[in-house]
Structure 1
């Protein structure tokens, strides 16, 4: 965690702790300053003190998860303005202070109202909210001035010192202004409640999902203000059930706010499911279905950009209609483009989701990543296919080059050497007839050397490309290959007819390399070769009873087998426990 972030957390914690300390100090000092005969129940005072603590705790949470800092600051301001009536007993002798406190002691109601108005975006985003907040703040300023200029010591529950700001003794005027201020607050609360509740009831499923807790908070807030106004108008300070309910109601406002914001955050976290579902690429039908389920908006439609036609169309290829491209009323369009500005898609969604821009930004990012994943996957698969084809062409070219070299050796150098041997034999016979024994001996010696070279040349030609493989396939070439192994080899080859040349050649040289490893390294006394066609694959296995311990990474021979097999799309498996022999299994798919 960065030092700057640590500092911010410390400062926020200090602000919250300071606000709580101030609120508790007002509550406790007021309770203790009130004569014992006039004190209310301890339980009620405790509940009254708990309300600002709830706001403070929710402020800490909102500071962490909220879209802006305004809601958390409003909650902290509420804690400061939650002034108990008993606190006037503490400041009753401070003539300049108690009128100010009396003028702002309903500020908590204004703050709570604005907190409801800024949900869920974290600021006042419409004209209605700004008008209501403006009226409430203006009325609060007028009320503060009225208290400062008209309030007397008898207008507060204490034996207060004279008001130094008072300019006229007009208790009736003061009372009218006081009642008007309180009922303006109740009227504004009802206006907000009615408007937002109607919107919630008429709203779509996404609208209700985003604001599902706000009706509870609104009801709690209006109940609180109405209860406070009624109690005040009745001129009673008794701890009634109505007052207790009002405390519970007002405490539910920040809880509802934080729960609603957390719910919106959970909706954003569900965008991660889109990446899990579409990690292989943005399948159009699946993406639209998954997006509607994530946003809980069945009206979601996704229109994809068709670069060839230069238009947006849905998953079925139907072009976007004018009504969808420029929606009115309850829907909005979210354009999604690549970082280079190339259009990707248009998402039609419920307009209420624009209040959660983080959610829509997450959706846009998920779609871009899905499209990029699909594009990259296609490019990788295309590249891998090109590599496979290239490797196969290289193998085929190598096979053809081997065959050509073998043919050239057989038809060229080998025939010339055979002809040379015949001419040397004629010359040796002639030297014997002429009685030149030394010349005849030298010619016989040259013929032996020539025959040895011819045998080596034939073996070289056979190793380059066995002619028996070309003429008879694996069924003839593998037994002949096994017969040249220095240890006994049991052969079971049942390839069904001739296989493609590249497959036969790959299989032959894989077996040849495996037998060479058996002869050189295994210390085996027997070996087995099996080749069968199973479920469209040529399955080869070379097994020995040697010392085991072989590895695919050990030596160029095994690597050579792996490269050959991989070039034709096959796979190789090696089982070689120490002391228990080695089994190499090769599977090559047949075209």
Structure 2
């Protein structure tokens, strides 16, 4: 039986085996080898103080160890790898102390190897990425300087002139002045790169948010102390007794620097306590504002905002049910979604710096998921109530606009025609005066009186629909005109009232008009007091009469118990109108003790 030809399965390729983690661990191992070799070279050379040797090696090994831990904790972040490379580069600089020509020559090319990696590390921290073109240019210049210029200098440096002559395998021609010039150029460019890095770091600190500053502060402070000690030590000179003190400060800062970098990378571990505190607080009933403050404090981001997902509108709303605008610039705000059982529940709008700590964000979102889901339901109810309230306000506004239109139509249309008809009838009376019999004269007079009565009723109807004086003169003049037209002893007391929205002014006017009508028609009152007060963004209206009382607004009665006639539903309708405007109407009317009608209206901003 013919079978398939045997094809051996290829072994895993070297590239597949060379994972980032393996690269880091190989680099750590190589760095340890270089560090031990450097210690041997320095001890044999005898030109380095033992304290400097020990502290330098300690700092280098700390970079290797901290970088390995940082990579293990955050493998997708390049900060750990860069820290390891700084340690490797630091120890590689000691290769020039070797007496083996090949190793010595390699050391000449790596005299400042750690500076290039350190530049990349400082600029990329804490995300591990270079965020701008300027930063990429600085890093490229640093690499070109620390790895390119030493090669040029090595081509013209004859190391056989040293006390211990070791051949430079790259020597082309002995030219000591050129070598010194190249070294000077390297130092000058390095200084310029240092200034550029300092500018970038200062700008980053100034524009950083509070969460990002908490990460940057230990690194910046340690580096600043080390840099200041270096500058101060160079300024006083090696002969000054203070030079050793500044040197100690520098080495201590150098040893603490990798720990500062590691602390920034390991913030997620430090955040576990905050997650535990959050779980403890979530057992208590929290309002949307309290929950948002708790999450902001737990994440260390005061600018954090919680958005609740509303499926009907496919948009986020805040805790009060108001629409929440999505951030337009990812560099200013970031969004972390919160889901439960595959459903979108909410989102955390947070500082972009927290994106470097996704585990902590995920833990916080998972811990608060149930509370956020409950608050989402409450926020959705508030949004629905807000929509209902807005709809009612639109209905009130539309009704007031229609009232004004009817009032204008009656005033400019029917009333004007009645006025013209009345004038024509008067002219007819004057022309026919004495030429017609008494019955015709009486008939004309009755017609004229009927037109006058119709015009009076039409004016009263127009005022009842919407008084023109309210639109033309404002609330207080309209109320004064209303009291003058009421056949009762009415006393009006009012504080200064600004120009308010038409809906608020009309509502206040109709409350007073309805209360006066009830006092006149049902309560048998003869005295009425009206108090109008505007304070703290609210308009308070109180109408008090000395009638028989007994009014019951909950039953829909606009009149009073015991009053004759059919009670209307005026005050009940006004209560609904005030509710649409977030106001409140109350009626206190004990039998036999008069009636007090109170209205409280939020006025908002004056118009």
Alignment pair present for 1:262 and 2:266: yes
The farther-off stretch of 140-149 and 280-289 is 280-289
The residue that corresponds to 1:533 in the other structure is: none
Matches within 5 A, 1:312-351: 312-320=316-324, 324-328=325-329, 331-336=332-337, 338=339, 342-351=343-352
The 3 A distance-change label for structure 1 pair 335 and 138 is: same
Do the aligned partners of 1:275 and 1:370 also contact (CA within 8 Å) in 2?
A: no
Distance change in 2, residues 1:271/1:149 (3 Å)? same
* Distance 1:268-1:190 versus aligned 2 partners, 3 A rule: farther
Runs of 4+ in 1 over 6 A off after TM superposition: 7-15, 227-231, 233-236, 373-376
**Counterpart check, 1:171 vs 2:172:** no
The question of 1:26 aligning with 2:42 is answered no
In structure 2, C-alpha distance between the alignment counterparts of 1:85 and 1:306, rounded to whole Å? 60
Mapped to 1, the partners of 2:163 and 2:93 lie a distance apart of 9
Cα deviation, residue 339, structure 1: 6.6
d(CA) in 1 for partners of 2:152, 2:21:
40
Instruction: Using the TM superposition, give the Cα deviation of residue 338 of structure 1 relative to its aligned residue in structure 2, in angstroms.
Output: 3.1
C-alpha separation between the residues in 1 aligned to 2:67 and 2:266?
13
User: What is the CA distance between 1:204 and its match in structure 2?
Assistant: 3.0
Computed over aligned residues only, the root mean square deviation of the Cα atoms, in angstroms, reads: 4.1
Confirm or deny that 1:299 pairs with 2:303. Answer: yes
Distance 1:225 1:169 in 2: 33
CA deviations over 1:138-187 (Å, ceiling 9, x no partner):
222322321332222178x6533342322233322222221222332233
Pick one of 130, 137, 145 that aligns with 1:139: 145
Q: What is the CA–CA distance in structure 2 between the aligned matches of 1:161 and 1:146, rounded to whole Å?
A: 18
| Structure 2 unaligned residues grouped into runs of 5+ | 1-18, 378-607
Check 1:289–1:63 CA distance in 2 against 1; reply closer, same or farther (3 A cut): same
Distance (whole Å) between structure 2 residues aligned to residue 105 and residue 337 of structure 1 = 51
Q: Is the 8 A contact 2:111 2:150 kept in 1?
A: no
- Alignment check: 8 A CA contact 1:66 1:122 kept: no
Q: Where does 1:337-376 land on structure 2 (aligned, <5 Å)?
A: 338=339, 342-368=343-369, 370-371=371-372
Aligned mates of 2:301, 2:159 — CA distance in 1: 59
- Structure 1 contact 104–140 (Cα < 8 Å) conserved: yes
Matching of residues 93-108 of structure 1 within 5 Å? 94=101, 96-108=102-114
Give the secondary structure class of the aligned counterpart of 1:150.
coil
Match of 2:193 in 1: 188
Change in CA separation of 1:366 and 1:150 when aligned onto 2, cut-off 3 Å: farther
Deviation at 1:254, TM superposition (A): 0.7
1:27 touches 1:49 (CA, 8 Å); kept in 2? yes
Structure 1 residue runs of 5 or longer lacking an equivalent are 1-6, 377-591
Question: 1:572-591 alignment to 2 at 5 Å?
Answer: none
Residues 97 and 104, structure 2, Cα contact 8 Å, conserved in 1: no
Summarize deviations over 1:243-274 as a string: whole Å, max 9, x none: 44332332222111012223354236524543
1:400 corresponds in structure 2 to none
Q: Could you tell me how far 1:221 is from its partner in structure 2? A: 5.8
* In 1: Cα distance, 2:331 partner to 2:68 partner: 34
Distance 1:44 1:350 in 2: 42
1:188 to partner: Cα distance: 2.1
Deviation at 1:83, TM superposition (A): 4.2
**2:154 corresponding residue in structure 1:** 148
Task: Look up the SS of the partner of 1:123 in the other structure.
Answer: coil
For 2:323 and 2:88, the matched residues in 1 are separated by 58
Inter-partner Cα distance in structure 2 for 1:107 and 1:209? 29
Structure 1 residues 259 and 57: CA distance shift in structure 2, 3 A: same
Distance 2:277 2:315 in 1: 29
Give the CA deviation at 1:81: 2.7
**Corresponding residue for 1:290?**
294
Distance in 2, Cα, partners of 1:33 & 1:192: 35
1:207-239 per-position Cα deviation (integer Å, ceiling 9, x unaligned): 3223221212432564587689989x9999x98
Deviation at 1:278, TM superposition (A): 3.1
Pairing 1:23-172 to 2, within 5 Å after superposition: 23-34=35-46, 39-66=47-74, 68=76, 70-83=78-91, 88-91=96-99, 94=101, 96-153=102-159, 159-172=164-177
Q: Does structure 1 residue 216 correspond to structure 2 residue 221?
A: yes
Between the aligned partners of 1:84 and 1:230, the Cα distance in structure 2 is: 28
Query: Secondary structure at 1:165's aligned position in 2?
Result: coil
Structure 1 CA distance for aligned equivalents of residues 188 and 40 of structure 2: 30
CA offset at residue 25 of structure 1? 2.6
Kindly indicate whether the alpha-carbon contact (under 8 Å) linking 1:279 and 1:370 is maintained by their aligned counterparts in 2.
Answer: no
2:465 counterpart residue number? none
Q: Tell me the secondary structure at the aligned position of residue 119 of structure 2.
A: helix
Three-state SS of the structure 1 residue aligned to 2:127 is coil
Query: Once the two structures are superposed, what CA deviation does each residue of 1:421-471 show, in whole Å capped at 9, x if it has no partner?
Result: xxxxxxxxxxxxxxxxxxxxxxxxxxxxxxxxxxxxxxxxxxxxxxxxxxx
Matches of 1:65 and 1:361 in 2, distance apart? 16
Q: Kindly indicate whether the alpha-carbon contact (under 8 Å) linking 2:109 and 2:154 is maintained by their aligned counterparts in 1.
A: yes
Q: Distance in 2 between matches of 1:294 and 1:196?
A: 27
In structure 2, relative to structure 1, the CA distance for the partners of 1:150 and 1:370 (3 Å cut) is farther
CA distance 1:244–1:24, shift in 2 (3 Å): farther
Deviation of 1:330 after TM superposition, in Å, equals 7.0
